[in-house]
Amino acid sequence: MKSHYANSIQVSLSAVTYAQIMRIVWILGLVALAGCNHAVYTRDGVTDGDTFYLAPHAWADDDPVLQSWVSYSLMRSACQLELGGDNPARNSDYGCEYTARLHLLETWDAQRAEHPDAQDPYLDTLLRVRAAGYLDEYTVRYFGRQDWQVPVEVRVDEFRGWQKQHLRRHRPQTRIVGSWNYPPP
Protein backbone atom coordinates (compact mmCIF):
# COMPACT_ATOMS: atom_id res chain seq x y z
CA MET A 1 0.00 0.00 0.00
CA LYS A 2 1.49 3.30 -1.12
CA SER A 3 1.06 6.62 0.59
CA HIS A 4 -0.82 9.50 -1.00
CA TYR A 5 2.50 11.35 -1.43
CA ALA A 6 4.10 8.42 -3.26
CA ASN A 7 1.09 8.15 -5.57
CA SER A 8 1.20 11.87 -6.41
CA ILE A 9 4.93 11.72 -7.22
CA GLN A 10 4.42 8.69 -9.39
CA VAL A 11 1.66 10.39 -11.35
CA SER A 12 3.51 13.70 -11.76
CA LEU A 13 6.62 11.95 -13.05
CA SER A 14 4.86 9.74 -15.54
CA ALA A 15 6.41 9.78 -19.01
CA VAL A 16 3.61 11.68 -20.70
CA THR A 17 3.21 14.41 -18.09
CA TYR A 18 6.94 14.87 -17.57
CA ALA A 19 7.71 15.11 -21.31
CA GLN A 20 5.02 17.74 -21.87
CA ILE A 21 6.12 19.81 -18.91
CA MET A 22 9.79 19.65 -19.95
CA ARG A 23 8.93 20.73 -23.51
CA ILE A 24 7.08 23.74 -22.17
CA VAL A 25 9.94 24.61 -19.80
CA TRP A 26 12.50 24.33 -22.63
CA ILE A 27 10.41 26.48 -24.99
CA LEU A 28 9.90 29.15 -22.33
CA GLY A 29 13.63 29.07 -21.51
CA LEU A 30 14.61 29.50 -25.16
CA VAL A 31 12.12 32.33 -25.63
CA ALA A 32 13.52 34.09 -22.55
CA LEU A 33 17.08 33.58 -23.75
CA ALA A 34 16.26 34.92 -27.21
CA GLY A 35 14.77 38.01 -25.59
CA CYS A 36 17.96 38.83 -23.68
CA ASN A 37 19.84 41.87 -24.93
CA HIS A 38 23.40 40.56 -25.34
CA ALA A 39 24.43 43.88 -26.94
CA VAL A 40 24.79 45.29 -23.42
CA TYR A 41 27.82 43.07 -22.90
CA THR A 42 29.38 42.72 -26.34
CA ARG A 43 29.15 44.31 -29.75
CA ASP A 44 30.96 42.93 -32.78
CA GLY A 45 32.58 40.38 -30.48
CA VAL A 46 34.25 43.06 -28.34
CA THR A 47 33.45 43.73 -24.71
CA ASP A 48 32.86 47.39 -24.00
CA GLY A 49 34.39 49.43 -21.23
CA ASP A 50 37.01 51.91 -20.17
CA THR A 51 39.10 49.59 -17.97
CA PHE A 52 41.10 46.55 -19.09
CA TYR A 53 41.17 43.60 -16.71
CA LEU A 54 43.87 40.98 -17.13
CA ALA A 55 42.53 37.42 -16.91
CA PRO A 56 43.27 35.88 -13.48
CA HIS A 57 45.08 32.85 -14.90
CA ALA A 58 47.63 35.15 -16.53
CA TRP A 59 49.13 35.89 -13.11
CA ALA A 60 49.77 32.27 -12.17
CA ASP A 61 50.47 30.50 -15.46
CA ASP A 62 54.01 30.96 -16.77
CA ASP A 63 53.31 29.29 -20.14
CA PRO A 64 55.58 31.06 -22.67
CA VAL A 65 52.85 31.39 -25.29
CA LEU A 66 50.34 32.74 -22.78
CA GLN A 67 52.83 35.25 -21.38
CA SER A 68 53.63 36.47 -24.89
CA TRP A 69 49.94 37.13 -25.51
CA VAL A 70 49.67 38.82 -22.09
CA SER A 71 52.35 41.24 -23.29
CA TYR A 72 50.35 41.86 -26.47
CA SER A 73 47.11 42.36 -24.53
CA LEU A 74 48.62 44.81 -22.06
CA MET A 75 50.40 46.84 -24.75
CA ARG A 76 47.34 47.05 -26.96
CA SER A 77 44.97 47.95 -24.12
CA ALA A 78 47.38 50.62 -22.79
CA CYS A 79 47.54 52.17 -26.25
CA GLN A 80 43.76 52.06 -26.62
CA LEU A 81 43.42 53.81 -23.27
CA GLU A 82 45.94 56.42 -24.39
CA LEU A 83 43.84 57.13 -27.48
CA GLY A 84 40.98 57.89 -25.08
CA GLY A 85 37.36 58.45 -25.95
CA ASP A 86 34.14 57.34 -24.32
CA ASN A 87 34.80 53.67 -24.98
CA PRO A 88 38.52 52.85 -25.35
CA ALA A 89 37.71 49.18 -26.00
CA ARG A 90 36.47 50.27 -29.45
CA ASN A 91 39.66 52.13 -30.41
CA SER A 92 41.55 50.70 -33.35
CA ASP A 93 44.76 52.26 -34.56
CA TYR A 94 47.64 51.13 -36.78
CA GLY A 95 50.22 52.25 -34.24
CA CYS A 96 48.53 50.35 -31.40
CA GLU A 97 48.22 47.11 -33.34
CA TYR A 98 51.73 47.27 -34.78
CA THR A 99 53.36 48.13 -31.43
CA ALA A 100 51.40 45.39 -29.63
CA ARG A 101 52.47 42.80 -32.22
CA LEU A 102 56.07 43.99 -31.93
CA HIS A 103 55.92 43.50 -28.15
CA LEU A 104 54.30 40.11 -28.69
CA LEU A 105 57.32 39.02 -30.73
CA GLU A 106 59.88 40.54 -28.36
CA THR A 107 58.26 38.67 -25.48
CA TRP A 108 58.11 35.47 -27.53
CA ASP A 109 61.83 35.82 -28.29
CA ALA A 110 62.60 36.25 -24.59
CA GLN A 111 60.32 33.36 -23.61
CA ARG A 112 61.95 31.03 -26.14
CA ALA A 113 65.39 31.95 -24.83
CA GLU A 114 64.18 30.98 -21.35
CA HIS A 115 62.19 27.94 -22.54
CA PRO A 116 64.01 26.48 -25.58
CA ASP A 117 61.39 23.77 -26.08
CA ALA A 118 58.53 26.31 -26.39
CA GLN A 119 56.70 26.20 -29.69
CA ASP A 120 53.78 27.97 -31.27
CA PRO A 121 53.20 27.76 -35.04
CA TYR A 122 51.54 31.18 -35.28
CA LEU A 123 54.19 33.02 -33.28
CA ASP A 124 56.99 31.26 -35.16
CA THR A 125 55.39 32.30 -38.46
CA LEU A 126 55.13 35.87 -37.21
CA LEU A 127 58.84 35.79 -36.37
CA ARG A 128 59.56 34.87 -40.00
CA VAL A 129 57.37 37.78 -41.16
CA ARG A 130 59.36 40.15 -38.95
CA ALA A 131 62.68 38.67 -40.10
CA ALA A 132 61.65 39.31 -43.72
CA GLY A 133 60.92 42.95 -42.80
CA TYR A 134 57.15 42.81 -43.31
CA LEU A 135 55.62 43.17 -39.83
CA ASP A 136 54.17 46.59 -40.73
CA GLU A 137 52.68 45.21 -43.92
CA TYR A 138 51.38 42.11 -42.15
CA THR A 139 49.63 44.29 -39.59
CA VAL A 140 47.96 46.39 -42.28
CA ARG A 141 47.04 43.44 -44.49
CA TYR A 142 45.51 41.23 -41.81
CA PHE A 143 44.19 43.71 -39.23
CA GLY A 144 43.88 47.03 -41.07
CA ARG A 145 40.78 49.19 -41.12
CA GLN A 146 39.66 51.86 -43.52
CA ASP A 147 40.17 54.66 -40.98
CA TRP A 148 43.77 53.73 -40.13
CA GLN A 149 46.47 56.21 -41.01
CA VAL A 150 49.24 54.03 -42.41
CA PRO A 151 52.76 55.38 -43.03
CA VAL A 152 53.69 55.71 -46.71
CA GLU A 153 56.74 53.49 -46.11
CA VAL A 154 54.51 50.44 -45.71
CA ARG A 155 55.00 48.28 -48.81
CA VAL A 156 51.67 46.48 -49.06
CA ASP A 157 52.05 45.55 -52.75
CA GLU A 158 55.52 44.11 -52.20
CA PHE A 159 54.23 42.18 -49.19
CA ARG A 160 51.46 40.57 -51.26
CA GLY A 161 54.05 38.90 -53.46
CA TRP A 162 56.00 37.64 -50.46
CA GLN A 163 52.75 36.58 -48.76
CA LYS A 164 51.68 34.40 -51.71
CA GLN A 165 54.94 32.50 -51.49
CA HIS A 166 55.42 32.27 -47.71
CA LEU A 167 51.98 32.54 -46.06
CA ARG A 168 49.75 30.16 -47.97
CA ARG A 169 46.62 29.21 -46.01
CA HIS A 170 47.76 31.47 -43.17
CA ARG A 171 45.22 32.37 -40.50
CA PRO A 172 46.03 35.45 -38.42
CA GLN A 173 45.43 35.27 -34.69
CA THR A 174 44.68 37.62 -31.86
CA ARG A 175 44.44 36.18 -28.36
CA ILE A 176 43.37 38.84 -25.91
CA VAL A 177 44.14 37.70 -22.36
CA GLY A 178 41.63 39.74 -20.42
CA SER A 179 38.55 41.82 -21.05
CA TRP A 180 37.24 45.35 -21.07
CA ASN A 181 34.63 46.45 -18.61
CA TYR A 182 33.56 49.42 -16.55
CA PRO A 183 34.92 49.69 -13.00
CA PRO A 184 32.43 49.07 -10.19
CA PRO A 185 30.73 52.24 -8.92
- Could you read off the pLDDT of 54-96 as tens digits, one per residue? 788 888 888 999 999 999 988 888 888 888 877 767 777 888 8
Q: Is the pLDDT of residue 11 over 50?
A: no
Round to whole Å and give the CA distance between 72 and 81: 14
Residue 129's domain comprises 42-181
The structure's pTM equals 0.70
Round to whole Å and give the CA distance between 7 and 65: 60
Q: Is the pLDDT of residue 171 over 80?
A: yes
pLDDT band at 22 (very low <50, low <70, confident <90, very high): low
| Cα–Cα distances in angstroms (integers) from residue 99 to residues 59, 106, 148, 181, in the given order | 22, 10, 14, 23
- 33-47, 56-70, 145-159: which has the minimum mean pLDDT? 33-47
Q: What is the pLDDT of residues 94-140, one digit of tens each?
A: 888 999 999 999 999 999 999 999 999 999 999 999 999 999 999 99
How much is the mean pLDDT over the chain? Answer: 79
99 and 71 together in one domain: yes
Q: What is the pLDDT of residue 24?
A: 64
134 and 112 together in one domain: yes
Q: What is the pLDDT of residue 110?
A: 95
24 and 108 together in one domain: no
Q: How many domains does the chain have?
A: 2
Of 55 and 37, the structure prediction assigns the larger pLDDT to 55
Q: Is the pLDDT of residue 32 over 60?
A: no
Q: Which long-range contacts (CB under 8 A, 24 or more apart) does 139-145 make?
A: 139/94, 139/97, 139/98, 139/101, 140/94, 142/172, 143/97, 143/172, 143/174, 144/94, 145/92
72 and 108 together in one domain: yes
72 and 128 together in one domain: yes
Q: What is the pLDDT of residue 65?
A: 94
117 and 172 together in one domain: yes
